[in-house]
């Protein structure tokens, strides 16, 4: 009898101890980059979701979710080290990847080896989820260049008077991903790539590239850039005679930083539109509206237009809910079990869309071109959809 009671006490103590241990989700973001706003936005979206889930009892019958974060400073090798460190942590079920596609792509071999799902909640390079194998640990709740850059091209053709497009792309994995899509799709969209111009992260002068745009006869610019280089390009265009200020269709890297502060009144002089997958503005989805209220309070802003890096907030928020669902479906914190569960999740109504299903065995991208919209950025930093 004493042995039975002792065994029962030991079992109950073990279950209680396990229930009190957190389940971790990691996030690797570019916090250390001075103008970056994406990392804090992604963290905020993830933390709001975690707080809501924990208030309802957490996961695995009472265990609380916790977020652990690291700073990759936009550096690929630092990001790789961060992923390995987080994936090694006990009871960490997934790592969220931030704005920089090259950082995520560099860690693909580590994800496959360590078998902890790596989910991009901003990075768009095709390579992140291309070549899906039966055991791929790479997922994405974000725009993918395969269809996002096609939307950029179609928008550039729309604002171009002669369908001649000048392209500005960074010499990175992200830039090469976008450039390949443009080469492949230009003809079918009745576009001519009049001039394709490469630049490096950290470049300060874009006169050569912009001169090439003017000389090529292009009547629109398609720009793939983050906020720092994107702002320099916009500022340079704004200083030119009005007849040389070509309209710009931009990839969304510029909304991952304090772009308005870097450009100031230049935005009033340039016709710029930027791709997004989500907006809080006039959004009828109940979860989007509830999330907007919490985000505005957290960021200290008074309108949905003023929310900083909105795609990062919403995509991280929905991702955490999908991960929590996978944990409960797997009834485990083991990486392979969570990965397998992610491929078999039930439908979920998120802030962005109804995921039905989010992922499958052959498709690890939760979003598609139905989420594409374009927006304008005002000098005060507000992001407003173009209707």
Query: How confident is residue 134, by pLDDT bands cut at 50, 70 and 90?
Result: confident
Residue-level length of the chain: 387
Encode pLDDT of 34-80 as tens digits.
Answer: 999 999 999 999 999 999 999 999 999 999 999 999 999 999 999 99
Residue 309, classed as helix, strand or coil, is coil
pLDDT for 198 equals: 98
**17-143+286-368 CATH pick, 2.40.30.10, 3.40.50.2300, 3.40.50.300, 3.40.630.30:** 3.40.50.2300
Per DSSP, helices labelled H in 21-161 are 38-55, 76-87, 101-106, 108-114, 145-159
**SS3 assignment for 142-170:** CCCHHHHHHHHHHHHHHHCCCCEEEEEEE
Domain boundaries of the chain, sorted by first residue: 17-143+286-368, 146-276
Encode pLDDT of 320-342 as tens digits.
Answer: 999 999 999 999 999 999 999 99
DSSP string covering 251-305: -GGGGGBTHHHHHGGGGGTS-EEEEES---TT---HHHHHHHHHHHHHHT-SSGG
Please answer whether residues 97 and 28 qualify as being in contact, where contact means their C-beta atoms are separated by less than 8 angstroms: yes
pLDDT for 332 equals: 98
Which class in CATH covers the domain with range 146-276?
Answer: alpha beta
pLDDT for 387 equals: 76
Q: Rounded to an integer, what distance in angstroms lies between the CA atom of residue 213 and that of residue 229? A: 16
Mean pLDDT of 126-140: 88
Encode pLDDT of 372-382 as tens digits.
Answer: 999 999 999 99
């Amino acid at each position: 009898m004493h042995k039975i009671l002792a065994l029962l006490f030991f079992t109950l103590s073990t279950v209680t101890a396990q229930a009190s241990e957190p389940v971790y989700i990691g996030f690797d973001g570019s916090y250390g980059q001075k103008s970056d706003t994406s990392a804090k936005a992604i963290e905020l979206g993830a933390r709001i979701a975690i707080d809501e889930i924990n208030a309802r009892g957490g996961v695995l019958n009472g265990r609380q979710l916790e977020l652990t974060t690291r700073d990759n400073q936009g550096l690929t090798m630092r990001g790789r080290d961060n992923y390995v460190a987080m994936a090694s942590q006990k009871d960490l079920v997934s790592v969220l990847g931030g704005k920089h596609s090259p950082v995520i792509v560099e860690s693909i071999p580590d994800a496959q080896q360590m078998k902890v799902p790596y989910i991009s909640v901003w990075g768009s390079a095709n390579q992140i989820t291309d070549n899906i194998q039966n055991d791929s640990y790479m997922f994405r709740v974000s725009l993918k260049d395969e269809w996002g850059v096609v939307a950029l091209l179609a928008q550039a053709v729309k604002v171009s008077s002669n369908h001649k497009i000048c392209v500005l792309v960074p010499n990175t994995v992200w830039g090469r991903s976008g450039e390949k899509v443009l080469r492949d799709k230009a003809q079918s969209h009745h576009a001519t790539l009049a001039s394709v111009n490469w630049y490096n992260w950290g470049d300060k002068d874009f006169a050569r590239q912009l001169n090439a745009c003017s000389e090529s006869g292009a009547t629109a610019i398609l720009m793939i850039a983050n906020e720092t280089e994107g702002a320099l390009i916009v500022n340079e265009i704004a200083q030119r005679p009005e007849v040389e200020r070509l309209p710009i269709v931009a990839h969304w890297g510029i909304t991952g930083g304090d772009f308005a502060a870097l450009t100031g009144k230049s935005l009033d002089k340039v016709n710029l539109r930027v791709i997004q997958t989500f907006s809080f503005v006039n959004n009828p989805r109940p979860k989007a509206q509830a999330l907007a209220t919490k985000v505005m309070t957290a960021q200290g802003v008074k309108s949905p237009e003023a929310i900083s890096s909105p795609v990062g907030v919403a995509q991280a928020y929905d991702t955490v809910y999908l991960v929590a669902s996978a944990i409960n479906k797997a009834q485990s914190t083991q990486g392979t079990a969570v990965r397998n569960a992610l491929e078999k999740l039930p439908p979920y109504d998120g802030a962005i869309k109804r995921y039905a299903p989010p992922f499958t065995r052959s498709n690890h991208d939760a979003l598609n071109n139905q989420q594409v919209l374009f927006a304008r950025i005002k000098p005060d930093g507000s992001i407003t959809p173009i209707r």
